[in-house]
Structure 1
Amino acid sequence: MSTLIIYAHPNKKSFNHAILENVMKGLKDANRQFDVIDLYTEKFDPILVIDEEHKRRDLINDPYTAEYRNKIEEADKLILIYPIWWFGVPAILKGFFDRVFVSGFAFKYDGKLPQGLLKNKSAWVIYTLDSPSFYIDWLRRNAEWTVVRDSILKFCGIKKIKRTRLTSLKYSTNEKRQQWLQKIYQMAKNI
């Protein structure tokens, strides 16, 4: 059993990076095998090219994304760590979904109906927002969450999905941030 962390934040001094460090520490302390895909450090190219030479149906054979598909295939648990910007995932992570979670690998169509192919996996999604929770829940109706949960992960067959949402980050105290990091460490350790 192994875990794959998919991390999307460009700043190594960010709170998201502290989250990553605490998740890794918790997994290490639990003697859990894991790998990390740091999309910014790896300079992942999020641009999906579709033209005469590059067909959407051939994305499963793209050599650029083969290593990422292999890592996902080998993992039983995915952990996604990212900030919410403009009520969505960072563009680099969206491009990762577009280029890696492709037909024939993450899903296929059985007639007109989609069938998820990543059924044997679970996911833990950890994300941060500067917005307060009441604003997200009431005015935005959790749009930042439903797209990732329903339109990507569940669509691809991942049904067991846990969420850790950290809101009002911009206005949080250092004490509150330390509490969050300790909780995340414990959750990672108890996976």
Structure 2
Amino acid sequence: MKVLVVYTHPNHNSLNYSFLESVLKGSESNSNITELQVLDLYEEGFDPVLVFHEHKRRRDMHKDVHLEKYRQQLLWADKIVFIYPIWWGRPPAMLLGYIDQLFASNFAYKDTKGLFPEGLLQGKTVVCISTMKGPTFYPLLWLNNAHKVLMKRALFSYVGIKRVKFFEFGNMESRKGKQTKKLQKIDRYFQRLTR
């Protein structure tokens, strides 16, 4: 299994970075994971801003040479792991900009004459590890599960990815947030991952 980890947090002293380290630690002792790449969007200097004009059209995004490296990473991976904070009920703009540009027509999906497109990333699986200041139940009760609906239905299902696992960790700025226990949970999950 080839794993691509897309890490989206500007601070390497953050709890999110500790979750990245737990993913790496657990993966090291898992013989099912043969290769692993980390894409740190902030460290990479990824530009999340969409630009369209007469020479750069949206319908041609799947051919943008500046994005070829990232497209190849997505094609290479069997499993894509996203690590990010939830800010204002959704992933950071940096990650959304990556999604906007990479999950493009004629690369991640193909328009059909039917109601839904043909997903071109079928067979891949996704794990989303997210942290938030508020309680874990906040997105479900207050935001109608908007985060999971956005990621699973509006994005991954659209491009053909059916298996999506979520770890939404709340109360992460609290002294009673059980951070160590949650980091260990991620470590164990990646130690035991089979597909």
User: What band does the TM-score fall into relative to the shorter chain?
Assistant: over 0.9
Structure 2 unmatched ranges of 5 or more: none
Residues 160, 172 of structure 1: CA spacing in aligned structure 2 closer, same or farther, 3 A cutoff?
farther
Q: Which residue of 1 aligns with 2:157?
A: 154
Look up the SS of the partner of 1:183 in the other structure. helix
Structure 1 unpaired stretches of 5+: none
Q: Give the Cα separation in 2 of the matches to 1:95 and 1:41.
A: 15
Matched, 1:37 2:45: no
Moved over 6 A (4+): none
Using the aligned pairs only, state the percent identity. 37
**Structure 1 residues 172 and 143: CA distance shift in structure 2, 3 A:** farther
Structure 2 counterpart of 1:102: 104
Say yes or no: does 1:127 pair with 2:149: no
Deviation at 1:137, TM superposition (A): 1.6
Alignment map for 1:50-65 (pairs within 5 Å)? 50-65=52-67
CA deviation after TM superposition for structure 1 residue 124, in Å:
0.6
Superposed, 1:174-189 pairs within 5 Å as 176-189=178-191
Query: In the alignment, is residue 14 of structure 1 matched against residue 14 of structure 2?
Result: yes
The alpha-carbon deviation at position 28 of structure 1 amounts to 1.2
The corresponding residue for 2:146 is 143
Q: Secondary structure at the match of 2:65?
A: coil
In 2: Cα distance, 1:38 partner to 1:12 partner:
10
CA shift for structure 1 position 172: 4.2
The alignment partner of 1:132 has SS state of coil
Aligned residues: 190
- Deviation of the 1:53 alpha carbon: 0.7
